């Protein structure tokens, strides 16, 4: 099912709230579903290969020690992917919320500038949103390198060559 069609459906609560403005519906419909972003760490914990779990049992790890020493390190790369996706979704959601219901903030600035045809202010807001997105992404990338730099080294994905 296309999320845009779901949001534009007349019986949907979101679409009823925004019947006059179809653009926010399409923008919200373009976001990845929250269960996909939030479920990534749990799916990563469940995706640890059975060989690694069996090896951990052979070495005497069980319960929490197996979780902390095998499953959690194996799940961290996918968890950081989820954090990276979630940070972008959070930024978009905050800006859209400010556009629709805010009286200040970046979304309100862009919306009011666009409606009053202040084109330079609108593009300044877009540039500020882009800078915020790039900064959030860079923070997650640096945190990933700091926390799980070993993963990048082990998988030969070193991009600093």
DSSP 31: S
- Count Cα atoms within 13 angstroms, Cβ side, for 83: 15
Annotate 116-136 with b (16+ C-beta within 10 A) or e (fewer): eeeeeebeebeeebeeeeeeb
Contact call for residues 92 and 54 (beta carbons, < 8 A): no
pTM of the model: 0.64
Q: What is the per-residue pLDDT for 118?
A: 94
DSSP 143: H
pLDDT in tens, 95-133: 999 999 888 889 999 999 999 999 999 999 999 999 999
Q: What is the per-residue pLDDT for 142?
A: 94
């Amino acid at each position: 099912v296309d999320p845009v069609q779901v949001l534009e459906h007349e019986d949907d609560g979101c679409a009823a709230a925004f019947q006059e403005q179809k653009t926010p519906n399409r923008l919200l419909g373009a976001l990845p579903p929250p269960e996909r972003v939030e479920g990534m760490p749990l799916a990563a914990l469940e995706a640890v290969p059975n060989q690694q779990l069996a090896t951990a049992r052979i070495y005497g790890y069980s319960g929490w020690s197996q979780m902390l020493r095998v499953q959690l390190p194996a799940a961290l790369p996918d968890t950081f992917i989820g954090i990276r996706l979630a940070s972008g979704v959070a930024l978009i959601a905050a800006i859209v919320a400010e556009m629709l219901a805010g009286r200040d903030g970046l979304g309100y600035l862009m919306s009011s500038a666009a409606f009053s045809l202040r084109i330079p202010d609108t593009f300044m807001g877009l540039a500020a949103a882009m800078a915020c997105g790039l900064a959030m992404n860079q923070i997650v990338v640096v945190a990933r390198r700091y926390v799980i730099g070993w993963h990048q080294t082990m998988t030969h994905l070193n991009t600093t060559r």
